[in-house]
């Protein structure tokens, strides 16, 4: 009997590059002969850099929700997120027609629509609760400042706490950072003491103090994990992300289709 696929959920704040990362990872996998399925869960997406194999917009579109329920964009996004949960049975039937070891799930643009709405948890629980992993994208510009980096790590840790599945932190758009910035951020993600020193060196204000307190909570909970830096253009760093996922579900073999 074929093994169930691994669902890779791409999560991150608006503008962090979720759709571009989905496209880049699809490219990287296909270039190496590894099969995957792309699932778009954003009913408000106007354009995608990839051709979705399964697209929630075939069932629910944000513009239609706005018209039908006479809602503005924000209200329609919330309504659409909940409507997705009602179509999961149909979505699951379509996904079962594919035979691929990895399903890349491009989640809605606004993080809270997937992470904090009950529909997000229901989606993951129905599709593959035991074979799911979250790729949490960290904004590269925010990551340059220690306090902002900690804020993103806190949101990442909250996401993992919410879903209770493995999570991998990824710095998207590494091309936008200088090499010394990448090195510094990489050190922060692997050496808590270095991140704490950087926080203490920042200009003291309420935000910095709160970030330092948040850092200590994360450190005590062992919530500080390595962040991989990935380029959507050169695909640099994608092998590290793939290897991490492989190690979670397939200790000694690639996620290849039969």
Strands 227-229, 167-171: pairing is: parallel
Mean pLDDT of the chain: 91
Decide if pLDDT at 250 tops 80: no
Which CATH class name applies to 6-248?
alpha beta
Decide if pLDDT at 90 tops 90: yes
pLDDT (0 to 100) of residue 2? 60
Answer whether 56's CB lies under 8 Å from 40's CB: yes
For the segment 10-22, the average pLDDT, to the nearest whole number, is 93
Structure confidence by residue, pLDDT tens digits, 193-240 = 999 999 999 988 888 889 999 999 888 877 778 899 999 999 999 999
Break the chain into its structural domains and give their ranges. 6-248
Query: Residue 196 to residues 186, 188, 220: CA-CA distances in angstroms?
Result: 14, 8, 13
pLDDT (0 to 100) of residue 257? 46
């Amino acid at each position: 009997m074929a093994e169930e696929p691994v669902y890779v959920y791409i999560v991150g704040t608006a503008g962090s590059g979720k759709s571009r990362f989905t496209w880049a990872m699809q490219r990287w996998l296909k270039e190496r002969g590894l099969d995957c399925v792309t699932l778009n869960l954003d009913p408000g997406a106007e354009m995608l850099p990839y051709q979705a194999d399964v697209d929630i917009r075939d069932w629910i579109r944000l513009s239609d929700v706005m018209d039908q329920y006479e809602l503005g964009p924000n209200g329609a996004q919330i309504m659409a997120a909940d409507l997705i949960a009602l179509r999961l049975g149909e979505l699951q039937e379509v996904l079962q027609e594919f035979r691929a070891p990895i399903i890349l799930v491009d989640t809605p643009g606004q993080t809270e629509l997937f992470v904090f709405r009950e529909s997000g948890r229901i989606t993951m629980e129905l599709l593959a609760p035991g074979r799911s992993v979250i790729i949490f994208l960290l904004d590269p510009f925010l990551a340059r400042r220690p306090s902002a980096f900690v804020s993103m790590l806190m949101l990442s840790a909250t996401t993992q706490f919410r879903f209770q599945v493995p999570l991998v932190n990824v710095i998207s758009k590494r091309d936008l950072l200088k090499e010394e910035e990448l090195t510094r951020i990489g050190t922060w993600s692997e050496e808590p003491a270095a991140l704490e020193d950087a926080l203490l060196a920042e200009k003291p204000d309420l935000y910095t103090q709160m970030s330092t307190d948040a850092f200590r909570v994360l450190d005590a909970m062992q919530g500080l994990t390595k962040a991989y830096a990935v380029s959507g253009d050169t695909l640099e760093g994608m092998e590290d992300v793939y290897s991490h996922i492989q190690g979670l579900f397939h200790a000694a073999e690639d996620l290849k289709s039969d």
